[in-house]
Structure 1
């Protein structure tokens, strides 16, 4: 198993030249059953009314939940695919930072189920998401 520091370095490195880099997502903490990232809220992730776009929120959630599944697989032999995500947006956000934490609910051999909470700087819930990942054998 990789260390916390190695996991964060790996996730941040894999984000180069991807949607995660475009959204300025940074992985900041990891543990046995969770992965945490942050994303700035500014005009780059706003919808036309000047609020955090729900699609950006879901992209953050899926990015963190999918990366979190890497903690439980052998990336040389397996791959992660998000197959279902749902989101409830309960609070709006105009500026600042949101924090996203994915916690494992079910860790099977072929399916991982994640609960993903997105909160603001005061730990107020912005969105609650659920992500299902399928674990596949890596194709040669």
Structure 2
């Protein structure tokens, strides 16, 4: 069964309820054939002590959007997706507004998937570049 983009976004946003994603204010906003986008507000809730976006919050955003993408694009109703490796380079500070994570699949294997996640600010400037490897496991 083929789902519409609106149905995919609704399912992604529903998965966020009562999770870290809801705590961080992550909202899925756009989906395409090989990408998924989410945004996160930059507020004191996700700041490090000096008032800029915490790198850990950026990594949580990246893993959330990459893992959700793997779940959606693999028709993963009968499998579990787990992030098994993540690497991030933070190149720009953000104090407020929103950041956007654009996850693109690079390798779509049956067992492992490789994602590139670009996190940008509201002006489209690169904030972090993240590589995520996900693992597909059968549900018990």
Q: Which residue of structure 2 lines up, in the alignment, with residue 41 of structure 1?
A: 42
Q: Deviations over 1:4-47 (max 9, x none)?
A: 11110001001000000000000000001000000000100000
Q: Quick check: 2:89–2:130 contact (8 Å CA) kept in 1?
A: yes
CA deviation profile, 1:99-132 (whole Å, cap 9, x unmatched): 1100000000101100000000110000000000
What's the offset of the Cα at 1:3? 1.6
Does the 8 Å contact 2:34/2:73 carry over to 1? no
Question: Which blocks of at least 5 consecutive residues in structure 1 are unaligned?
Answer: none
CA distance in 2, matches of 1:74, 1:33: 13
1:130 corresponds to 2:131:
yes
Deviation at 1:74, TM superposition (A): 3.3
Q: What is the Cα-based RMSD across aligned positions, in Å?
A: 0.8
Cα distance between partner residues in 2 of 1:18 and 1:70? 16
Structure-2 residue corresponding to 1:111: 112
How many residues are paired up?
Answer: 139
The runs of 4+ residues in structure 1 deviating greater than 4 Å are: none
The corresponding residue for 1:61 is 62
The secondary structure found in structure 1 opposite 2:70 is helix
3-state SS of paired residue (2:99):
strand
**TM-score calculated relative to the size of structure 1:** 0.97
SS in 1 for 2:76: coil
Pairwise CA distance, 1:48: 0.2
Structure 2 segments unaligned to the other structure (5+ residues)? none
Contact (CA 8 Å) 2:42, 2:53: kept in 1 or not? yes
Deviates more, 1:1-10 or 1:98-107: 1-10
Q: Does 1:77 align with 2:78?
A: yes
Deviation at 1:70, TM superposition (A): 1.2
The TM-score normalised by the length of structure 2 is 0.97
SS at match of 1:66: helix
